[in-house]
Chain A
């Protein structure tokens, strides 16, 4: 037997191993020095004509292309909603201040952060109607990809991020979003696998790791947010904590000191999470991020903290205390489904996959339900407190001037919690059709068109959205009313 074929194989193997060794995740860059006045932060973005008085928060849930198309349909509807505010006629979309997104919803969110209004010309062909799922599978089956995937720190989501970087986001990084310098402040959310906490792609979070978000690609952020467990792998990020003279905000130490008194365990947990991530630099040099839906599948937890806490990187409560907000709109776009099952038609014991899928998805759905309930509770609390004071003042005044109280009330804000979700589709048949759509990165064109249309219709039918339109002398074009 000749040595030549063996040698050729050895050379090939050597090349393959070398290629695998060279493949590695794209590292997030370090931050030379903590700079609270730079980077992707809410307060750094130009407001332009977007007023704080009408403060609009939009959340996009997870759910693959189903969620992306529903979110896109709502963006189109917001663009087509004409309002009158502060003596000007404009689009409600131009008043959106913050978008918080998860998984599939992160693709339109990131694209809007990057391209603004051009999303309506570009995004459908760049993402919605594109067979992303087929492209991902094809890419994973490509021999050159096997070599990359052989590297221990390079997974299927890294491959996906490369595809999104090239094909969807045109090589853009957060530096491009910062350069655009326009609201809304768009927050893509992933989940820190080790702590289970939400990981928002904003500079405030990257400060803890002494990393510069400006050097991170939007594709990598979107890939982290949508790294659906099982199908896609988690993504690795470097933690350089301790290397940039970072200083925690004042509230963090104060909240950590409350640990023993348990006065506010939620605030204390947020503080301790920040302290541990910033302190664990050498002990935890890598962070692994998985799908944002693991921590919160509707992207509402961050906005709820911002509304209820002065200890938040973009606290709405601070703005309310400063009387800058007059109307607060929270629009939740939720593409959750509840697929029909044949399980209970048979006495058979459900299989392992069925059981594991149930175990993975049911807690998420229940948590999402509680999160939406928490939004209602928070909004009610804000509504009730000012009304309670006004009521007391009125009642006491009726008892005569000598009894009249003049209790000061906290700043009054008009609140509009709006929900776009399939469960609000009136027709049972139509509702069932949407609630049985799969979670995938590829849907037929007609399904996507139906999702875009239902997003618009559900928005126009929401009672609080209708109240908002009345208050703003607005209308949504194409919803049966002339604008």
Chain B
């Protein structure tokens, strides 16, 4: 089991490999491997998506995946 924390200034839906998978700023469990992370609802975030290989994480040190507000919002 691997652990990720997708961060964003507000609570947003997190999509992993195009499937709804919990919310931002929470520790989520994923299987090791390459995944695509996106946020749901509005598209006022950057980058549009992040493709990352998740490995060697622990629950105390999840992989942090930051998303930011888009400047033009």
Residues of A near B59 (CB, < 8 A) are 385-386, 388-389, 409-410
Q: Are B34 and A254 in contact (CB under 8 A)?
A: yes
Q: Are B34 and A310 in contact (CB under 8 A)?
A: no
Residues facing A in B1-52 (CB within 8 A) are 1, 3, 5, 14, 16-22, 25-36, 51
Residues of B near A264 (CB, < 8 A) are 31-33, 55
Q: How far is the CA of A251 from the CA of B30 in the complex (A)?
A: 12
Q: Are A263 and B27 in contact (CB under 8 A)?
A: no
Q: Which residue of A249, A388, A410 is within 8 Å of B29 (Cβ)?
A: A410
- Minimum CB–CB distance from B50 to chain A (whole Å) comes to 12
Q: Are B32 and A250 in contact (CB under 8 A)?
A: no
Please report the total number of A residues contacting B with Cβ < 8 Å: 35
**Lowest 9 A-B CB distances belong to which pairs?**
A321-B22, A385-B59, A251-B17, A264-B33, A264-B32, A309-B31, A250-B17, A410-B27, A254-B34
Q: Which residue of B18, B20, B33, B36 is within 8 Å of A263 (Cβ)?
A: B33
Q: How far is the CA of A315 from the CA of B20 in the complex (A)?
A: 11
- Minimum CB–CB distance from A469 to chain B (whole Å) comes to 28
Q: Are A310 and B16 in contact (CB under 8 A)?
A: yes
* Dominant secondary structure at the A interface: helix
Q: How far is the CA of A370 from the CA of B16 in the complex (A)?
A: 30
* Dominant secondary structure at the B interface: strand
CB-nearest residue of chain B to A323: B22
Q: Are A311 and B31 in contact (CB under 8 A)?
A: yes
**In the complex, A267 has a CB within 8 A of chain B:** yes
Q: Are A409 and B27 in contact (CB under 8 A)?
A: yes
Please report the total number of B residues contacting A with Cβ < 8 Å: 28
**Known contacts A388-B60, A389-B59; is-contact A408 B22 (Cβ 8 Å):** no
- Minimum CB–CB distance from A315 to chain B (whole Å) comes to 7
Residues of A near B26 (CB, < 8 A) are 408, 410-411
Q: Are B21 and A318 in contact (CB under 8 A)?
A: yes
Interface residues of A (CB under 8 A from B): 249-251, 254-255, 257-258, 261, 263-264, 267-268, 308-311, 315, 317-318, 320-323, 381-382, 385-386, 388-389, 392, 407-411
Q: Which residue of A267, A386, A408, A411 is within 8 Å of B33 (Cβ)?
A: A267
Q: How far is the CA of A411 from the CA of B26 in the complex (A)?
A: 9
Interface residues of B (CB under 8 A from A): 1, 3, 5, 14, 16-22, 25-36, 51, 53, 55, 59-60
CB-nearest residue of chain B to A320: B29
Q: Which residue of B5, B29, B32, B53 is within 8 Å of A317 (Cβ)?
A: B29
Q: How far is the CA of A381 from the CA of B33 in the complex (A)?
A: 18
CB-nearest residue of chain A to B13: A322
Residues of B near A392 (CB, < 8 A) are 60
Q: Which residue of B1, B5, B20, B33 is within 8 Å of A258 (Cβ)?
A: B33
- Minimum CB–CB distance from B49 to chain A (whole Å) comes to 10
Q: Are B17 and A322 in contact (CB under 8 A)?
A: no
Q: Are B21 and A321 in contact (CB under 8 A)?
A: yes
Q: Are B1 and A310 in contact (CB under 8 A)?
A: no
CB-nearest residue of chain A to B56: A263
Residues of B near A254 (CB, < 8 A) are 17, 33-36, 51
- Minimum CB–CB distance from B21 to chain A (whole Å) comes to 5
Sample of 19 further A-B pairs with CB below 8 A, known A249-B19, A310-B21, A411-B26: A249-B18, A250-B18, A250-B36, A251-B17, A254-B17, A254-B36, A258-B53, A264-B31, A264-B32, A264-B33, A267-B32, A308-B1, A311-B17, A311-B33, A321-B16, A321-B28, A385-B1, A385-B3, A409-B59
Q: How far is the CA of A330 from the CA of B25 in the complex (A)?
A: 29
Residues of B near A261 (CB, < 8 A) are 53
Q: How far is the CA of A381 from the CA of B59 in the complex (A)?
A: 10
Q: How far is the CA of A94 from the CA of B14 in the complex (A)?
A: 31
Can you name 26 A-B pairs with beta carbons within 8 Å?
A249-B18, A250-B18, A254-B34, A254-B35, A254-B51, A255-B33, A258-B34, A263-B32, A310-B16, A310-B30, A311-B33, A315-B19, A317-B31, A318-B19, A321-B22, A322-B20, A322-B22, A381-B1, A386-B59, A388-B60, A407-B60, A408-B27, A409-B27, A409-B59, A410-B26, A410-B28
